[in-house]
Amino acid sequence: MIDIVINITHLAFLAITSIAILRMTNLFAIVMLYGIFSLLSAGLFVVMDAPDVAFTEAAVGAGISTVLMLATLALVKRPEKPYYAEAPRVHRPWLPLAVVLVTGSALVYGTWDIPGFGASDSPAQTHVASYYIDNAVKETGVPNIVTAVLASYRGFDTLGEVVVVYTAAVAVLLLIGGRRSRAVPKTKPKPKGKGDQDET
Amino acid sequence: MDLLIGHYNYWIVIILMMVGLYTVISRGNLIKKIIGLNIFQVSVFFLYISIGNVEGGAAPIITEGVTVYSNPLPHVLILTAIVVGVATTALGLALVVRIKESYGTIEEDEIHKQDHSL
Amino acid sequence: MKPNLILHVIAKFVIPLIILFALYVQFHGDFGPGGGFQAGVIFSSAFILYGLVFGLDAAEKIIPSNWLQKLAALGVVIYAGVGMVSLMLGGNYLDYSLLGSNQIAGQHLGILLVELGVGITVAAVMLILFFAFAGRGRE
């Protein structure tokens, strides 16, 4: 019973935080709210019996992502006050709102029939998962089933993931690895001859 | 009532997904779009972990005296997805920095105006 | 009293604990929650904290950038190398059973090496990202 109450309250907080992120216009406050959002979702993952995922989400979402966004904000802030304001929107929101409402209702219609939250006889629980739970310790000797599946049964996927992370580092180095920020001049510089004549 | 409690998770996930999607398509600031994309990603993670949850189960670490475990497979998939998500976000933010240096602004309308006026 | 005194003292106290915790999470990933990714991110966060408190120049003196690039590649090479060793010993790619005397010992060794590779790469990559973003606006 207390589990359900914690679940419901937590999810409500998440929805409220995401709507606040949508409506605010101060970018600094939005990034801070994103850190709170990440931490709340990490707490919710713990409640849903996923400590590995909660660990990763808290470290990566509330740690690295927020720090990188703050560093980006420091690099792209406007030169005049207020530094972190988002420009007011000039387009009408009717078309995006319509798209979102249609997609949302289609998804709700799609989830009407799926098994309820926590059912133990749903198709997701009966095929491969029982094999992993029964045989992971016998075949690999590692009690943490998630690590056993990640590193041994599905080792190829983890190899691909490490390569993706490495590629992201290479790409970021290519984009902003240099030291100086070179601002491209907006107008072409005047040729030498004309400038001298103008000054005299 | 049973339907409400059983499906409340999925509906909140759909609300989060739609809020993220709306942030991406209707706001013009590039950093806000990236944050909206991250909200969308987190909602998809919730969908998978909710599907893998078992009532009365424990975390999938074999311990004495526990018989029912939650499904470990969605945890593995989402672990990979979280790390790939942060790689994508870092790359997107690097692109935003270069766009700012190139155009002088990170608002989508002004970038379009500068592109069309060339 | 210098204005940053509290930050300096607390950072010097906390950074070794963070590194120790990262090593704990890395090597106890078999028995509790944890593993390579989480450990790599926590390890890098110790150095990011050092860079935030003591300045980016001091942080880059501790870990030069070219070392980080080589470490990131080293992690991927360790991971792929474990697979290659399995291939050369006669089994499939990334088949850990052949690395030890029996299957359980081989799996233990294989998982340990693979998670080590993952942890090294993730730590180096997070530090590369931080130094790239933080070092861009200077001079």
Is a pLDDT exceeding 60 seen at residue A189? no
Residue B103 sits in a domain of what CATH number? 1.10.287.3510
Task: Find the Cα–Cα–Cα–Cα dihedral B36, B38, B40, B45, rounded to 10°.
Answer: -160
Residue C33 per-residue DSSP state: S
Contact flag B97-C133 (C-beta cutoff 8 Å): yes
Q: What is the tally of structural domains in chain B?
A: 1
Q: How many CB atoms lie within 10 A of CB B112?
A: 11
Per-residue pLDDT of chain C (139 residues; tens, 9 = 90+): 677 899 999 999 999 999 999 999 999 988 888 889 999 999 999 999 999 999 999 999 999 988 999 999 999 999 999 999 999 988 888 888 888 888 888 899 999 999 999 999 999 999 999 999 998 877 5
* Domain-located, residue B112: yes
- Residue A93's pLDDT band, with cuts at 50, 70 and 90, is confident
Neighbours of chain C (3+ CB pairs under 8 A): A, B
Give one DSSP letter per residue of A154-185, joined into a string: THHHHHHHHHHHHHHHHHHHHHH-SSS--PPP
Looking at the domain assignment, is residue B63 inside a domain?
no
Query: Mean pLDDT across the stretch B90-107?
Result: 91
Residues 6+ apart with CB under 8 A from C139: A179, A180
Of A54, A56, A60, A53, the C-alpha closest to A42 is A54
Closest CA in chain A for residue C28: A144
A116 interfacial to chain C (CB closer than 8 Å)? no
Q: Two tokens at B114? A: 């500068």
pLDDT value at A108 more than 50: yes
- Asked if residue B64 belongs to a domain, the reply is no
Q: Render A76-115 in DSSP notation, one character per residue.
A: H--SSSSTTBPPPP-S-SHHHHHHHHHHHHHHHHHTTSSP
Hey, what are A59's tokens?
A: 């470290």
Question: Is the confidence at residue A196, as pLDDT, over 60?
Answer: no
Residue C121 CA to residue C125 CA, distance in Å, equals 6
What value does the mean pLDDT take over residues A47-59?
Answer: 91
* Mean pLDDT on A43-68: 92
**Sign of the four-CA dihedral B48, B49, B52, B54:** negative
Q: Which domain holds residue B12?
A: 2-56+71-116
Q: Does residue C113 contact residue C78 with C-beta atoms inside 8 Å?
A: yes
Out of A51, A143, A179, closest to residue C31 by CB: A143
Mean pLDDT of chain B: 89
| Region for residue A94 given its phi and psi (left: phi exceeds 0; alpha: psi -120 to 50; beta: otherwise) | alpha
Q: What's the whole-model pTM score? A: 0.89
Contact A158 C118 (CB under 8 A): yes
Whether the CB of A191 is below 8 Å from some CB of chain C: the reply is: no
Residue B83 and residue C136: Cβ atoms within 8 Å?
no
Q: Share the mean pLDDT of chain A.
A: 85
Q: Assess A112–C contact: CB distance below 8 Å, yes or no.
A: no
- Is B66 part of any domain? no
Is position B93 within any domain?
Answer: yes
Q: Which residue of C has its CA nearest to B98?
A: C136
B92 membership: H or E segment, kind and range: helix B72-103
**Looking at the complex, does the CB of residue C104 fall below 8 Å from at least one CB of chain A?**
yes
- The contact set of C with B (CB < 8 A) is 31-33, 37, 122, 125, 129, 132-133, 136
Token code pair at residue C19 = 């590194």
Q: Which chains touch A (3 or more CB pairs under 8 A)?
A: B, C
Please indicate whether, in this complex, the C-beta atoms of C136 and A75 are within 8 angstroms of each other.
Answer: yes
Mean pLDDT of B79-97: 94
Q: What residue in C sits closest to B75 (Cα-Cα)? A: C33
Whether the predicted pLDDT of A195 surpasses 50: no
Question: pLDDT tens for residues B18-70?
Answer: 999 999 999 888 999 999 999 999 999 999 998 888 888 888 888 888 888 88
User: Does residue A183 register a pLDDT over 80?
Assistant: no
C115 touches chain A (CB under 8 A): yes
The three-state secondary structure class of A130 is helix
Burial of A196 (0-12, 13-18, 19+ CB in 10 A): exposed
